[in-house]
Structure 1
Amino acid sequence: MQNYKYELNIVEDYVNNYAKFGPVIVAGDFNTSCRVTDLERTNVNKSIIFSNFILRNNIVPINASSLCDPSSFTFIPTRTVLDYFLVSEELANDVTFCENIPEGTLSLTSDHLPVFLQLSIPFVAYSSNGDTLASKLTDKLKECTNITIPSGSFNPNTKPYWSDQVKQAHKAERLARRTWINHGRPRGKSFPSYVEYKSAKNEFRNRQRFAYNAYMYNTYREIDEAAECDVRLFWRLISRRKGRKTNQILEILHDNRQCKSPEDISNAFADFYAGVNTPTENAKFDSDFKAYVTEFVDRTLESCAKYNGLLPGGEINIAEIETAIRNLKLQKAPGYDKLQNEHVRYSGSKLQTVILRIVNSVIRFGRIPLCWKHGLLIPLYKGNGKCKLAPENYRPISLLPILYKLFETVLKKRLVTSLENDLFPNLQQGFFNGLSCITASFNFQETIYYLLELGCKLFVAFLDSSVHLIQCGIVA
């Protein structure tokens, strides 16, 4: 059994290495079956090890799935499936046909029967150089940061008023206390160690109290000034003074199942959010809107054809990258790769050239680097007394890799300036500079008042965007 684990670990190392560059297909004799119906005729321990190997690497045993006849087999003596095509989950939907060739179909001298697999994969001329370069760039940025920038662990008990004077007084107080303890903890003014300890302790408390009062005075002064000049700064300073509430989610109810452990809660959110934008054809399916979106996407692709498959305007240039980097906001949370905007802002012009090369490679080959597809999703409770057990009452906040967000910024600016002028309705308030929910509410309220003054009938329809996205096809 140890030899089987050792050999399977070697296969897993190869799978992990090749998975960095794209989907993986593994074919071979694994000397056990993962089908439940074959457990009586195969080594159960090997089957468990093999099944765990499949789950860990997100691969699908195609010829042991529902695509094949459940009574078929590949090993004649035990009539079990020992030979497999293992396909990455992202390629599983591209499998068009799979069959374990029945016994007697071909003239064979082996006890193993052949397996036939057919996939329909669109050919994309893509070089793995983009994936490799993006991954190496991320690793190199983190490596250089760890070497050049000192770092330390977060201390939640740090006091903002703790100055050098307070630190020195605290150090003197601790030293005097140790001296007093070494002398047997005597009490009374006749003992010098006791007197020195009490004096140092009193001095430390006075300096700490003075530093705290000075810090609070400056804080309140900043709040007073911000209240008159900068409302946003005012509320930001007020928020700092408030106690931070923990947003820990203790329980979620999903698909009539209670999830209480952190792992179950995470899986419940992942399952819920995975189905939010998944098109489902049913009685309410908006086929007309799907046709409209499909036609618009086709016209956009046709407009890009005259640029040899690139964006309208040709390749991205270094000036666009420089502008996007210069406009990055600082002190923002990192994504899954732990890179922050500061890594890119302060890395110099050579990094901009590398980013330009990656961005143009992504556009040219139509493939996003694998390391850009990982994000951290944080569910935030919407509030307003909504049920905390329902996952739909939590707003998903995605922390994406900085390099991917940089690519999105450049891409959006190029497309918005090049596409049709009537791309967005004039009344759309979201995702535009200077417009928000406040302006939308104001326009809505004024429209109601105007129609009421005219004595007109008023009909209002509210649409839940998340539900709408479920009902129509998204092809873009």
Structure 2
Amino acid sequence: MVRNVESSVDDVYEWLLKKGVSQKISQIFRELLAEHGLKQHISDATHRLGHTLDVLITREDSSILKGIPFVADPGICDNNGNRSGDPLAIRTLLRLSKAPRERRTVIFRKIHDINIDNFRKDLDFSSVTYKEASVEKLIIHYNRVLTATIDVHAPLKSKEIVIRPNTPWFTDDLYSAKRDRRKAERLMRRTNLAVHKDIFNQKCMQVTKLIQHCKSQFYINKIQEIGSDSKQLFKLTNNLMGNTNLSVLLEHDSEIDLASKFGEFFIGKIQKIRENLCSLTKSPTREVVLRADIKFDGIPLEAFEPMSIAEVCDIIGDAPTKSCKLDPIPTNVLKQCSESILPIITEIINKSFSEASVPLDFKKAIVRPLIKRQGLDKDEFKNYRPVSNLPFLSKVLEKAVASRLEKYLNDYQLHDNVQSAYRSSHSTETALLRLHHDITS
């Protein structure tokens, strides 16, 4: 048997040589089979001249073949009706099975089952005196109360789910049509009648047309809902075209070790930037380039004015409903219970103002490394940039500080006249209008 296999492979090599392929390439092909543990199963001739030009190659330890491969006449005829037995066909039975679906264990809370009225009643922040507590103590109390309350109303649960394709366009009508098609298929296989085969083909055509209709109608409605939101439209178009940015990471054996290496790299990068900045500022030859054109006669900004509950409420209401894993409760629940939580949030912000410090919990973030550009070497740390997901309350504090700074800059007219970035009612359009006016006037 081994001898026949070797001779059949030699026939392939002989055919390659006749086609002008060098002996070196033929030898590489022979060595590849042996090097990778491959086996050629066809020993009979598949060509009218007695050569084996069609081969069937599998791995030596593969169990995909259910039967012994054999050479047979495929029964193909030419235009004149003459049987064409060159080349012959290779027939065998294959042991194929549907790949098992991926399963994953997820941890979740049933947030939608929370009764908001009962949740508000159970919130109790009275055990801490706001005036005497520091900002760090208030943060600890805030997290403890919210975590304990949500654990009662929506405790953590684990569940094993099956990862299925995302088909948001799937409808009940399509489900019924596919069920009818499956019934027709079973009937056709059982009776093997031509009439039942025709019925099955009709059901298949109906399902295919219905799938196309459901898809097109779903995306038509989706585009109409998006309206003039170019960001969402661009995202939907990328999804339709299959241009999804898959997250890539370095090859690793341990996720913990990889996270530690990324952390060390990003921290080292920040330290280098700080060292370079310090060396520049301490340089004796450095000249001060930026100087004030007009002497400032206003009141120096030495402390921020405390925030009111109404101001904090506006900041929370305008903020995107995005959550972080470090948040004690989801942002959508926090917004619904804002009346009960606003006093302690306002006190946390004002304590941060008065102590001139940012709480340690606000400096923590979920850092995700993203490749800077597709095509870069994924095994180089320098090709990744860190994207931080901060706690929601940390972003609220940032907005509060920004509002106080903006108010101070506007009150004393400290904004540059030609500045368009990071200013309310200013954008690239205003910059272009200013430039056009300067050129034409």
What is the TM-score when the length of structure 1 is the normalising length? 0.48
Q: Does 1:325 align with 2:320?
A: no
Conserved? CA contact 2:362–2:391, under 8 Å: yes
- The letter of the residue matching 1:160 is P
The answer on 1:280 being equivalent to 2:270 is: no
1:372 positional shift: 3.1
- What is the rounded CA distance, in whole Å, between the counterparts of 2:162 and 2:343 in structure 1? 34
Task: Judge conservation of contact 1:339–1:402 (CA < 8 Å) in 2.
Answer: no
Deviation per residue, 1:103-138 (Å, 9 max, x gap): xxxxxxxxxxxxxxxxxxxxx983753132221244
Distance 1:290 1:389 in 2: 41
- Checking the alignment, whether the CA contact within 8 Å between 2:312 and 2:346 is kept in structure 1 is yes
Deviations 1:182-217 (A, max 9, x none): xxx963157xxx96x996896587346414423314
Measured in 2, the distance between the counterparts of 1:166 and 1:144 equals: 40
Distance in 2 (CA, whole Å) between partners of 1:125 and 1:403 is: 18
Q: Decide whether aligned partners of structure 1 residues 273 and 436 sit closer, same or farther in structure 2, where only a CA change above 3 A counts.
A: farther
Whether the 8 Å CA contact 1:166–1:208 is kept in 2: the answer is: no
Change in 2 beyond 3 A, CA 1:410/1:282: closer
CA distance in 2, matches of 1:125, 1:353: 14
**How do 1:30-429 residues align onto structure 2 when only pairs under 5 Å count?**
126=134, 129-140=137-148, 142-143=150-151, 146=154, 155-170=163-178, 187-188=190-191, 203=203, 206-207=206-207, 209-220=209-220, 223=223, 229=228, 231-243=230-242, 244-250=244-250, 262-278=255-271, 279-280=274-275, 284-287=279-282, 303-304=301-302, 311-312=304-305, 315-330=306-321, 332=322, 334-337=324-327, 339-383=329-373, 386-419=376-409, 421=412, 425-426=416-417
Letter in 2 for 1:216: S
Residue pair 2:309, 2:342 contacting (<8 A) in 1 also: yes
CA distance in 2, matches of 1:280, 1:374: 23
**Cα distance in 2 for residues equivalent to 1:290 and 1:260:** 51
> Tell me, what secondary structure is at the counterpart of 2:169?
coil
Q: Which moved more, 1:431-440 or 1:278-287?
A: 431-440
Partner Cα separation in structure 2 for residue 327 and residue 205 of structure 1: 50
How far 1:317 sits from its partner (Å)? 0.9
Closer/same/farther in 2, CA of residues 137 and 436 from structure 1, 3 Å limit: farther
Local SS of the residue matching 2:154: helix
1:318/1:198 CA distance change after superposition, 3 Å: farther
SS at match of 1:239: helix
Counterpart for residue 27 of structure 2: none
Residue type at the aligned position of 1:161: W
3-state SS, counterpart of residue 395 of structure 2: helix
CA offsets 1:53-109 (integer angstroms, 9 cap, x no match): xxxxxxxxxxxxxxxxxxxxxxxxxxxxxxxxxxxxxxxxxxxxxxxxxxxxxxxxx
In 2, are the aligned partners of 1:134 and 1:369 still within 8 Å (CA)?
Answer: no
> Do the aligned partners of 2:323 and 2:330 also contact (CA within 8 Å) in 1?
yes
Identity of aligned residues (%): 19
Instruction: Count matched residues.
Output: 297
Q: Which amino acid aligns with 1:126?
A: S
Change (3 A) 1:345 1:366: same
Q: CA deviation at 1:327?
A: 0.5
Q: What is the CA–CA distance in structure 1 between the aligned matches of 2:413 and 2:167, rounded to whole Å?
A: 54
Distance 1:318 1:390, change over 3 A: same
Structure-1 separation of matches of 2:372 and 2:236: 23
Aligned letter for 1:275? Answer: G
Deviation at 1:147, TM superposition (A): 6.3
C-alpha contact (below 8 Å) 2:315/2:400 kept by paired residues: yes
CA contact (8 A) 1:272 1:391 kept: yes
Per-residue displacement from partner, 1:296-335 (whole Å, max 9, x unpaired)?
A: xxxx997446xxxxx22xx2211111101210223x3534
Q: CA separation of 1:202/1:325 partners in 2, compared to 1, >3 Å: closer, same or farther?
A: farther
Structure 1: 5+ residue stretches without partners: 1-123, 252-258, 294-299, 306-310, 451-476
TM-score normalized with structure 2 length: 0.51
How many angstroms does 1:359 deviate by? 2.5
2:248 aligned partner, one-letter code: Q
Query: Once the 2 structures are TM-superposed, how far is the Cα of residue 239 of structure 1 from its aligned partner?
Result: 2.0
Aligned with 1:378: secondary structure?
Answer: strand
Secondary structure of the equivalent of 1:187?
Answer: helix
Tell me how far 1:162 sits from its aligned partner.
Answer: 1.3
Distance of aligned partners of 1:162 and 1:275 in 2 relative to their CA distance in 1, 3 Å threshold: same
RCO higher in structure (CA 8 A, sep ≥6): 1
Alpha-carbon offset, residue 379 of structure 1: 2.2
